Copies of this chain bind each other. A is one copy, B any other.
Amino acid sequence: MNAIEKWDVFEVEAKGFSDKNPFVDYYIKGVFSSKSESVEVDGFYDSNGTYRVRFMPSFAEKYQYRIFGSFSEETLSGSFEATAPTEGNHGPVRVANQFHLAYEDGKPYNSVGTTCYAWTHQPEKRQLETLEELKKGYFNKIRFCVFPKHYLFNLRDPVTFPYEGVPTDASKLNEENFFSAMFATDNSWDFTRFNPVHFQNIEKRIKDLQVLGIQADIIVMHPYDRWGFSRMDQASDDLYWKYVIARFAAYRNVWWSLANEYDLMGSKTLFDWERYASILVEKDPYKRLRSIHNCTQFYDYTRPWVTHCSMQRTDLHKTAEFTGDWRTRFGKPVILDEIAYEGNINQCWGNISGQELTRRFWEASVRGGYAGHGETYYNPENVLWWSHGGKLHGSSPERIKFLHSILEETPGYGLKQLQIQGFGGTFSWDDVVGVPEDFKCAGTYFLIYFGIFRPSFRDYFFDESTEYEIEVIDTWDMTILSLGKKNGRIHIDLPGKEYMAIRIRKAV
């Protein structure tokens, strides 16, 4: 009998009709059943008369399946065994408590993401280069688009297109005319015929990411477009959504981002977004994480289908410091996927220092949220990590990895900001203190972050006798200085530098 690990993908390949337009004129479905679950999923037409149905088992049990539909005269059936997961397979990421995430096996997931919008559309060599960088373990999530990207620094055609057809002429594009090119009229696409090669490559990369322990935060729609993919009609949109879900949903590291900067997509309305969400809720049986990313206007993240906030900061100066406000407002995990990128391009969303980006990561994390990385160092080849992947040039990735190692030592499922009231308590009104979200860990762990402030000392008093382990963390130099165990009035000397933190843990 076939066997796969629980949370891996079981795929059934079936030959079927290839006349007419198999993408719309035939369908294929599967029902997968074990002792604990029975799941119906849509399959999809791939190419050359081949249909596929993918399924992710959630239990280490024996499964029976039946494949049916109009794709063929026949019905297929069979069985397989889902075995216990081996090391490194922790299952999909879920909301673990109200504000934090964990893998399905219970391992906490502290999100440190990056963004390479169009990396799967680059030449193979660049894609492999990107994977080499990702292997260094800086990030455990990456955001990228299904559709190709048309934008400043992004004028080359992608290696593949998602549809059969002929794209607008890119030979005369430059940074001056890129805006008007968004209204190109010389595209010729058949929105009912997908180009399977485009999707097969994305699947390959999703699997590569899975091996690296990286979540694939898939951006299904976006406004950076000269091909008309952002302005299709409702039937084409819905066909696209179902195809994407049928192909990608079974991969356990997939997250759904309905769109990047949805509020820049002038031809879509709130009703469209809610319709896509309803398709997703209906067609994705695994309930993978779902969100939608803004430009200037947050989506209503309280909508029941939204699992977490995927935010772009809405102010240029105050960003991650709002994390607590947004937790309160939306009541869900807060992931600041875009808070400006390390780099030096002309635009202000892409030219902050590594220090500032690292600071924003710490501010978000200590306040009970998560931040996202991007890199936009200008170069004449127009290979910028934020879009193309390639090589990293910045100073923040190492520091983000260091932060992640600190977050991994948080008791429970993540931090929240301690609410400091009045005078004379253990902490001062100007301490930003991360404490465990989980009440049962209260009083055991305090992560104080000073950001741009440069105290040369701080004093804390819990009580006369309880002992605490004191550590001074230099978040930029990535050092942890242990001051040993202390009690009573705890005086902590600090170097009077920016980007320092203190970790206080109740001694055991």
Contacts and interface: CB of A to CB of B under 8 A. Distances in A.
Interface of A: 179, 315-318, 321, 343-349, 351-353, 356, 378, 423, 428, 430, 450, 452-459, 496, 498
A456 B318 contact: no
A378 B378 CA distance: 41
A96 B457 CA distance: 45
A454 B179 contact: no
A229 B257 CA distance: 61
Contact of A321 (B317, B457, B458, B496): B317
Contacts of A456: 344-346, 351, 378
A459 B346 contact: yes
B452 A352 contact: yes
A493 to B, nearest CB: 10
Contacts of A458: 346
A352 B317 contact: no
Nearest to A498: B353
Given A318-B315, A423-B179, A498-B353, A345 B452 contact: no
The 3 closest A-B pairs by CB, nearest first: A344-B496, A348-B430, A318-B318
A454 B321 contact: no
Contacts of A378: 456-457, 496
Contacts of A459: 346
B453 A348 contact: yes
22 contacts: A179-B423, A316-B430, A317-B317, A317-B321, A343-B454, A344-B454, A344-B456, A345-B455, A346-B456, A346-B457, A346-B459, A348-B430, A348-B453, A348-B455, A349-B430, A351-B453, A351-B454, A351-B455, A351-B496, A353-B452, A353-B454, A378-B456
B430 A347 contact: yes
Contacts of A454: 343-344, 351-353
Given A347-B455, A353-B452, 4 more contacts: A346-B459, A348-B450, A378-B456, A378-B457
Contacts of A345: 455-456
